Amino acid sequence: MQKNKLLEIYDKLFERYSYQHWWPAVTKDEIVIGAILTQNTAWSNVEKAVENLKNSGICSLEAVFYTDIDSIKENIKPAGFFNQKSVYLKNISEFFVKNGSFNKLSRLDTNRLRSELLKIKGIGKETADSILLYAFGRAVFVVDAYTKRLILRHNLLKSNDYDTIQDFFEDNLPKDVELFNEYHALIVKNAKEFCRTKPKCSGCPLEGV
């Protein structure tokens, strides 16, 4: 029994699933592009879209910026919402190209970088934080629908507000990039297995936590 519920939950998830290694050995550009494409979309469909971009030689933010939007649409079609996601990709690629890409943007502190990302149309809190964590390596906790449901079901908070839940994680965990990286991935992994349409809790590593 630990006094820190969040660490207890993490330990049980990690014990069951081990490392998820999200976005390993891929370019940062691909992570940013994937973060947009995965908005409310199954990851298997994102992989098809990314593969199309690679085959077309335009799986980079600079390439996206200089490629006509109709070609972008055609390539990312499998990921769904291609009409708006193509615009979103254009928006963020413009941001990176016009601001010196990772080289210069990495000099900004995390809060400043986050607020700049949130100004881009198509980048909400979860996408911004995913980019900060997985592409920039900043210790920012990503809150998604699964995370909210986990917090509410275990009665750890009353509010389901994004910032409230994010603060809860960041204030009760060591600010460790690898920990935040794995934790978010483990929550998704566990939710997919046990919390689909009908919550089947039998066998869940968080049973009784």
Partner DNA sequence: CACCAGGAATGTA
Partner DNA sequence: TACATTCATGGT
Binding residues vs DNA (CB under 7 A): 22-23, 34-35, 38-45, 48, 77-85, 120-128, 130, 134, 144-146, 161, 185, 188, 192, 196-197
Q: Would you state the structure tokens that stand for residue 177, as one six-digit string?
A: 């990039």
Q: Which is nearer to DNA, 197 or 202 (CB)?
A: 197
Q: How far is the CB of 57 from DNA (least distance, A)?
A: 20
Q: Which is nearer to DNA, 4 or 145 (CB)?
A: 145
Q: What is the CA radius of gyration of the chain?
A: 18
Q: How far is the CB of 128 from DNA (least distance, A)?
A: 6
Place of tokens 């085959």: 55
**What are the C-alpha distances in Å from 60 to residues 23, 83, 139, 148?**
15, 19, 24, 32
Q: Which is nearer to DNA, 107 or 121 (CB)?
A: 121
Query: Which residue type sits at 156?
Result: L
Q: How far is the CB of 24 from DNA (least distance, A)?
A: 10
Query: Which residue type sits at 107?
Result: R
Q: Which is nearer to DNA, 104 or 119 (CB)?
A: 119
- Reduced 3-state DSSP string for 150-177: HHHHCCCCCCCCHHHHHHHHHHHCCCCH
Q: How far is the CB of 87 from DNA (least distance, A)?
A: 9
CA distance 51 to 115: 30
Q: How far is the CB of 112 from DNA (least distance, A)?
A: 18
Q: Which is nearer to DNA, 58 or 76 (CB)?
A: 76
Place of tokens 């929550």: 187
